[in-house]
Structure 1
Amino acid sequence: MNTSAYNENYQRIVNKNEIPSCNILGVNIAAIDMKWLLNFLNENISKLSGDYICVSNVHTTVTAYEDEEYCKVQNGGILAIPDGGPLSSVGQKRGCKNMKRTTGPSLMGEIFKISVSKGYRHYFYGSTDETLEKLYLVLKETYPGIQIAGMYSPPFRPMTDDEDKAIVERINETEPDFVWVGLGAPKQEKWMAAHQGRVSGLMVGVGAGFDYHAGNIDRAPEWMQKSNLEWVYRLLQDPRRLFGRYWHTNTKFIWNAMVRGK
């Protein structure tokens, strides 16, 4: 299966041009805040089936700047929301005063809170069976009555076309409103782009969001989140994996987006 495909023929109902955005390193980051996003989703969720949202940060934005095809994927969904604090900071300096950090885990939490009253159904695609089991129990306890339509942990190897077709049918049979995708970047964005128009429900790539809500990872204190320092907290939790990535992407972001103004 070609997970890097970008569906240029997808026809959406919602007018994407009405969504405020700020171009940062070639990626059209939505110039929004959480209140705007929640209102938008509540008003349009039935029209967004088959589309996707990228949860964008410094890492994904720099990756898109260096990879033209991935940039198309980032720009190919209905929204690329500013998960990374530096993105919203750059946007505000460029005149988008209402642009605020809108993280994937926070979006999940806000949607979960209103899911029972709205009747939203959720499908979770990604992570491991162990994490999905923990996530299921936490959500059922924290949000009584929440509708979990299904969960699936895909194999780490590439899936065959037949396997992919089967999981798409499996997801669609459950009629979800939200399909939360936790494969990590850039894999999750490429998966969503390859399935644009094929999967029922709005796909949202939330990276480590599954781990946060399952209790596997602690989020940074609120003061660090508000100060754009959550990346430091994550680095301290997993320095071996994240140090090289942060060094590469953060320095390039500072030079290209903040200094050169791209």
Structure 2
Amino acid sequence: MRYIRRNRSGSPILDTFVDSLSLGECLDIASGWANSPTPRTICFCNVHALVTASVRADLAKAYADADLVLPDGAPVAWMLRLLGHRRQKRISGPDFMWQYCQRANQIGASVYLYGNRQATLDTLASRLKGSFPELQIAGMMSPPYRPLTQEEDDAIVETINASGARVCFVSLGCPKQELWITAHQTRVHSVMLGVGAAFDYHAGNVRRPPMWVRNSGFEWLCRLFQDPKRLWKRYLLANSIFAWRASAQALDHALNGRESDRRAGRVSQPDTSEPER
């Protein structure tokens, strides 16, 4: 199933629309949304997420419902460039989170941290405050690693809303965090961002490779060496499927150009207006 987004700059990759923006533009948009009472959602998608969304309708809908879907992963950014967005760079969840906290520090804005283990949250909060003394961490919560009861879920929503945080970083892993965000996008009154492994990275639990490795598109290989038992099958399948389907899409674009873009629903202007709910 293909979801087409109108009035936003970007292109469908496989079956998911991915926005084409710079990191600075994304930070400006998120900062503006944080000053609005309207709930917003921002997702970051890599190769694994795009392939999973192509076979899972619930994840595809979560990306379709998001206000922004950003290219977290060098191959995703490369695809956007091949599809005509020549200056697109990778915008990863961990990088975005750090940059936003730096900006929030300058104005004393508040954030909420949801997900991961309590020990990780404690270390993360300490490191964030050490780097950004004026950043207001309105609250943090490590949810149970099991399905929540309705009463528990209602209590979590009430706690986040009562904190007053206008930005909520969610670190539950894909696709759990995207499904949680879309299920709560009208209930949690903030800008919710699914930032994946950002909490582990910034807490120091997982070491990130050097910037040149990240930009080269081989960060996945470093993660594979760190956790081979869990990740080998994911990367073998997802990377192979993505390479095949993305190559076919890029070839179609090269042969058919603008007509291919028109059929795919490629558009040219970012949408910063209030969404219809």
- Shared topology, TM-score over 0.5? yes
Counterpart residue number, 1:11: none
Whether 1:39 and 2:36 are equivalent positions in the alignment is no
Distance 2:179 2:33 in 1: 23
Is 2:141 the counterpart of 1:146? no
The match for 2:156 is 167
Pairing 1:66–2:55 present: yes
Correspondence for 1:7: none
| Other-structure match for 1:10 | none
Encode CA deviations 1:45-73: one digit per residue, 9 max, x unaligned: 22374221111000110001112222111
Distance 1:234 1:49, change over 3 A: farther
Larger radius of gyration: 2
Equivalent of residue 185 in structure 2, options 176, 179, 196: 196
Range that drifts further, 100-109 or 40-49? 40-49
Q: Distance in 2 between matches of 1:48 and 1:172?
A: 11
Contact 2:104/2:135 (8 A) holds in 1 = yes
Q: Which residue does 2:97 correspond to in 1?
A: 108
SS of alignment partner, residue 188 of structure 2: coil
| Shift in CA distance, 17/40, structure 1 to aligned 2, threshold 3 Å | farther
* SS of the residue 1:197 aligns to: coil
Query: Take 1:24 and 1:168, find their aligned partners in 2: how far apart are those partners?
Result: 33
Output the CA distance in 2 between the equivalents of 1:29 and 1:260: 14
Point out where structure 2 has 5 or more consecutive residues left out of the alignment: 253-277
Q: Deviations over 1:101-133 (max 9, x none)?
A: 000000011011111222321101100011011
Aligned residue in 2 for 1:243? 232
Report if the CA contact (8 A) 2:178-2:194 is conserved: yes
Whether contact under 8 Å (1:180, 1:205) holds in the other structure is: yes
SS of the residue corresponding to residue 225 of structure 1 reads: helix
Deviation at 1:171, TM superposition (A): 0.4
4+ aligned runs moved over 4 Å, structure 1: none
Native 8 Å contact 2:20 2:85 kept in 1:
yes
TM-score (norm 1): 0.90
Task: Establish whether residue 98 from structure 1 lines up as the match of residue 84 from structure 2.
Answer: no
The aligned counterpart of 1:155 is: 144
Amino acid in structure 1 at the alignment position of 2:154:
K
Unaligned runs of 5+ in 1: 1-15
Partner SS, residue 137 of structure 1: helix
TM-score by length of 2: 0.86
Q: Secondary structure at the match of 2:79?
A: helix
| Structure 1 counterpart of 2:204 | 215
**Aligned counterparts of 2:111 and 2:84: Cα–Cα separation in 1:** 36
Moved more, 225-234 or 164-173: 225-234
Structure 2 letter corresponding to 1:83: D
Partner of 1:12: none
Match of 1:182 among 151, 166, 171: 171
